[in-house]
Each structure stands twice: as structure tokens, then as C-alpha cells.
């Protein structure tokens, strides 16, 4: 198992195009494979970077025999994608100006020994942006 090569893949259950736009226009990821129409798009952080993130249309998951979509209509926060940054305040301001809905301003969590903030994508998935500067 190569856990250190894990890629985040979000299952889109609502509006694929809206999610595609969120990750390209607001977050600034670059589509490497696929497009706004889905059912799958992989993204990279830069033009020459390897893919690091993907979205996949939830209705296409039954291609995998045995998969059944949960009945729940609410989004439980059971997984959080963590995005390290060396410029937490700068990235927070840039993303907020782009319309990313944050849960609050960056803050220092003493028990964790770090600064972070959280936002959600259009699907309601939770992301943590945290200070990886080592300061």
C-alpha cells in the first residue's frame, strides 16, 4: 500500500459543473484529465505538476459492483481534506475574495499547536487549510 501517494477524490452528488468551477476558478486547480461535463476530472496544483485531486460523479459509482449510495441527505463530517500552506493568511484572503465560504478566520488552536481555518466546497465537503510554515 502506498498511503503516502493518496489522492483525494470527491464524489459529486449535486452539481458537477458547479464543483468543477469551484476547484478551477476559486481554488485555482488545473484540470489535467476530464472536463466540466464529468463524470471524472483530475486536477493538478500547477501546469507541470502531477495530479493531486479529483472529482467523480456520484451517480457513476455503481460501475463498481457492490457500491450502494447512502440514503442520508445530510453531510456528516467524517473526512477532512487537509491542505498545508506556507502563507495561511495570504491564501485565506485570496480564496475568500474568490468566494470560498470559510467557517471562520484563521486561528491558532493551542491544543493542536497550529493555525488553521476551514471551508466547504459546493458539495459540503470539509477542507482544512493549515499553516505548514513551521513558524
Write down the pTM of the prediction. Answer: 0.82
CATH for the 1-61 domain, from 1.10.287, 3.40.1710, 3.40.50, 3.30.1900:
3.30.1900
Task: Confirm or reject CATH 3.30.720.110 for domain 77-135, answering yes or no.
Answer: yes
Are 1-61 and 77-135 in the same CATH fold? no
d(CA 84, CA 132): 5
Query: Per residue in 83-92, pLDDT tens?
Result: 999 999 999 9
What the block records as the C-alpha cell of 78 is: 467524517
pLDDT for residue 74? 62
Query: Per residue in 9-41, pLDDT tens?
Result: 888 988 999 999 999 999 999 999 999 999 999
Domain residue ranges in the chain? 1-61, 77-135
What the block records as the C-alpha cell of 75 is: 453531510
Amino acid at each position: 500500500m502506498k498511503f503516502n501517494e493518496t489522492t483525494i477524490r470527491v464524489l459529486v452528488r449535486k452539481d458537477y459543473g458547479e464543483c468543477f468551477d469551484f476547484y478551477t476558478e476559486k481554488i485555482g486547480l488545473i484540470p489535467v484529465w476530464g472536463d466540466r461535463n464529468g463524470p471524472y476530472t483530475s486536477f493538478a496544483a500547477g501546469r507541470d505538476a502531477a495530479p493531486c485531486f479529483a472529482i467523480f460523479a456520484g451517480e457513476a459509482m455503481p460501475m463498481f459492483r457492490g457500491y450502494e449510495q447512502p440514503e442520508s441527505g445530510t453531510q456528516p463530517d467524517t473526512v477532512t481534506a487537509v491542505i498545508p500552506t506556507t502563507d495561511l493568511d495570504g491564501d485565506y484572503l485570496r480564496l475568500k475574495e474568490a468566494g470560498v465560504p470559510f467557517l471562520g478566520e484563521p486561528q491558532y488552536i493551542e491544543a493542536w499547536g497550529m493555525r488553521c481555518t476551514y471551508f466547504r466546497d459546493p458539495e459540503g465537503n470539509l477542507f482544512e487549510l493549515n499553516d505548514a510554515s513551521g513558524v
